[in-house]
Structure 1
Amino acid sequence: MDRERSKRLYVELLRGNFEKILSELDLVYRLTHSGEKGKEAEEILKNFLKEYLPKKYEVTTGFVHTDMGTSNQSDILLYDSSNYAPLYSGYANKIIHMSSLRAVIECTMKVNKKKIEEDNKKIENLKALFKKDIEIQESFSREPLAILFAYKSEGNILKNLSSLKDKNFDIVFCADGQLYILNHDTDEYTNNLVDNLTAGETLHGYTFTKQQHAFSFFYSYLIDYLNEITSEINKYKMVYEYSKSSIYIDYK
């Protein structure tokens, strides 16, 4: 393999992964039952993440628990399974402790203004549990990541994201070629792809699309952000958690 081709390998491999995901999503989109569409889209992304995330991250569906309460069900949870055990592991869902959470992903086949507002509120409820627990906050290097992943879009997504009073998604990706990253300093979403700049025929015999670049950047941002999120393991002790919980058991 020549040096230039070796440098292109990372991009070319991600391009191939996205084409596989997109072909599966296209097939799912033809299904007639909307509920099944959403579930299948979720499983497609989960399978990719299970294959291509570092093995210390477990990919699951379920709930997040703190002393302040338990979250609503999340489509996809990424948690540190090398240092933290789930509180409950069922056939379809897990309950994990907030200390282990690294990212939450909401999946949808089509994202529009209504869906953005609904899922943003859902993430707000989860983040509220994090913010209310001082012990949890102090043990984290930064908040767990919140992502919205969609197959198709409807309307002006950037405008709808910008109109949110409380912006809870860190990354918003749509497979039709849109990627928005929240700048926490300015509280604004930025479009990370410029039309006609990262797309077109290459000198190497294939075509790169804006959609392929969007996915590759999405995956790259995800990995980088995950690597930034750590929590102090010594501040989470199973014996301590059990002892705290047992205080609230009422005996006759």
Structure 2
Amino acid sequence: MDNCYGQHGWKEFLRNRKDILTEFDKVREQTTNRPIHVAHGQAVEAYIRKWLAEFIPKKYAITSGYIIPDLYDNSGKIYHYDIIIYNRLEAPILWTEGNQDNSEQGKYRAIPAKHVVAVYEVKSRLTKDNVADALSKLDQTKDFSSQLNKNYTCGAIFIELKETDKNKESILKELCKGANVFGFSGGMVLRYEGDDTPTGIISIFNTESNSEAESIHCKPLAKRIDDLKIYITEEGNLEITEPGGGAIMVVTAENTWSVSKLYGVTYKEGSISVYLSWSRSNFSEFCINLLSALEGLPYNDKNRPSFGRVFDKIEQKINLSN
């Protein structure tokens, strides 16, 4: 991406993202002609766990496996989750499933509920059915939600949004149901088929308003970042005329702003809103949000980390009427 620059580490973060997608594409190609594609999903889940294990502070650990609540009988079913983040320093491993042929990231571990800080489900495509399945899995903690860590959050990671799904408002409508899932904060979409440079972030929030008069932009769910009508005018002002277009602006030097182009869509039901935004800076933004959530830092906290942001070189708009 020659038209980009960024904070320290931005190229390395984009490399991490590219490595995950390359692994996904490689395994998908290898399993295309196989009747069962289970290994496809498991391989990319393991790769994401490996990346997260290298990234997050070492007081946390990553596993696939089971959350074990405090119960007094064996009648309750225990559920498997793709990614469990837990307190490594305090949590006992109740049991491990796997054999010598499994990598560390391929083994299943059972973690007591009170030590679990975050859970993520991984899906290959952002579709209505996959959203419903992920939310159903994440909602299984509702019976013991009071036992989870005080900073507990959960979400979903989708590998890609296909071009054929970009106008399906039903995906956002299904995501809105995440408001009923304990700890659900949204998630990430690693790429859009029509432009593999941005990452999508899914956010869900309560607007504390039931007004239906608000203007809600719902589709398409994604656009090519370089096609967005975002320019610098001859007067030096930032001009955004793209429906759904926006910008993240950061002061990077005295009297200097750096800009990350943004495209976003919103779906609203009552007081609940889902926002899906796309930016080249969003992969590092997901990482920042994850670290902040693990530590219980709100969005506006001064101690939130800042690193790896990607900025776009904004084209100057020439006024042809002069």
CA separation of 1:63 and 1:182: change in aligned 2, threshold 3 A: same
1:99 and 2:114 matched: yes
* Secondary structure at the counterpart of residue 122 of structure 2: strand
Tell me the TM-score normalised to structure 1 length.
0.70
| 1:106-144 per-position Cα deviation (integer Å, ceiling 9, x unaligned) | 11111311121122111111133224xxxx36xx434x1
Distance 1:37 1:198 in 2: 36
SS of equivalent to 1:175:
strand
5+ residue gaps, structure 1: 200-206, 230-252
Q: Distance in 1 between matches of 2:42 and 2:135?
A: 19
Shift of the 74–59 alpha-carbon distance from structure 1 to 2, 3 Å rule, reads same
Instruction: Choose between structure 1 and 2: higher helix proportion.
Output: 1
How far the C-alpha of 1:89 sits from its partner, in A, is: 2.4
- CA shift, 1:49, in A, is 0.7
CA contact (8 A) 2:85 2:116 kept: yes
DSSP 3-state at the match of 2:61: strand
Q: Distance in 2 between matches of 1:70 and 1:81?
A: 25
> Take 2:110 and 2:14, find their aligned partners in 1: how far apart are those partners?
34
Structure 2 equivalent of residue 40 of structure 1: 43
1:19-168 mapped onto 2 (5 Å cutoff): 19-30=18-29, 31-32=31-32, 33=34, 34-68=37-71, 69=76, 71-91=78-98, 92-131=107-146, 136=147, 140-142=149-151, 144-153=152-161, 154=165, 155-156=168-169, 157-162=171-176, 166-168=180-182
Q: After alignment, is 79-88 or 10-19 more displaced?
A: 10-19
Amino acid of the structure 2 residue aligned with 1:103? A
Distance 1:151 1:129, change over 3 A: same
In the alignment, is the contact (CA less than 8 A) between 2:138 and 2:181 conserved in 1? no
| Cα distance in structure 1, aligned partners of 2:108 and 2:52 | 17
Deviation at 1:47, TM superposition (A): 1.0
Q: Which 10-residue stretch deviates more, 112-121 or 176-185?
A: 176-185
Alpha-carbon separation, structure 2, partners of 1:45 and 1:148: 12
Instruction: Please tell me whether residue 180 in structure 1 is matched to residue 202 in structure 2.
Output: yes
Confirm or deny: 8 A CA contact 1:37 1:109 kept in the other structure.
no
Unaligned runs of 5+ in 2: 99-106, 192-198, 211-217, 229-245, 249-259, 263-277, 298-322
- Residues 25, 64 of structure 1: CA spacing in aligned structure 2 closer, same or farther, 3 A cutoff? same
| RMSD, aligned CA | 3.3
Q: SS at 1:228's partner residue?
A: coil
| Structure 1 SS opposite 2:139 | helix
Checking the alignment, whether the CA contact within 8 Å between 2:142 and 2:181 is kept in structure 1 is: no
Cα deviations by residue, 1:149-201 (Å, 9 ceiling, x for unpaired): 1112343432331255724531221112321122257599xx9x9954569xx
Partner of 2:12, secondary structure, is: helix
Q: Percent of counterpart pairs with the same letter?
A: 19
Aligned residue type for 1:160: E
Q: Is the Cα contact below 8 Å between 1:18 and 1:212 reproduced in 2?
A: no
Contact in 1 for aligned 2:28/2:40 (Cα 8 Å): yes
CA distance in 1, matches of 2:139, 2:209: 15
Higher relative strand content: 2
How many angstroms does 1:100 deviate by?
A: 0.7
Task: Give the structure-2-normalised TM-score.
Answer: 0.56
| Cα distance between partner residues in 2 of 1:172 and 1:186 | 22
How many positions carry a matched residue from both structures?
A: 208
Give 1 or 2 for the bigger CA radius of gyration. Answer: 2
| Separation in 2, partners of 1:147, 1:161 | 11
SS of the aligned residue for 1:40 comes to: helix
Determine helix, strand or coil for the equivalent of 2:154: strand
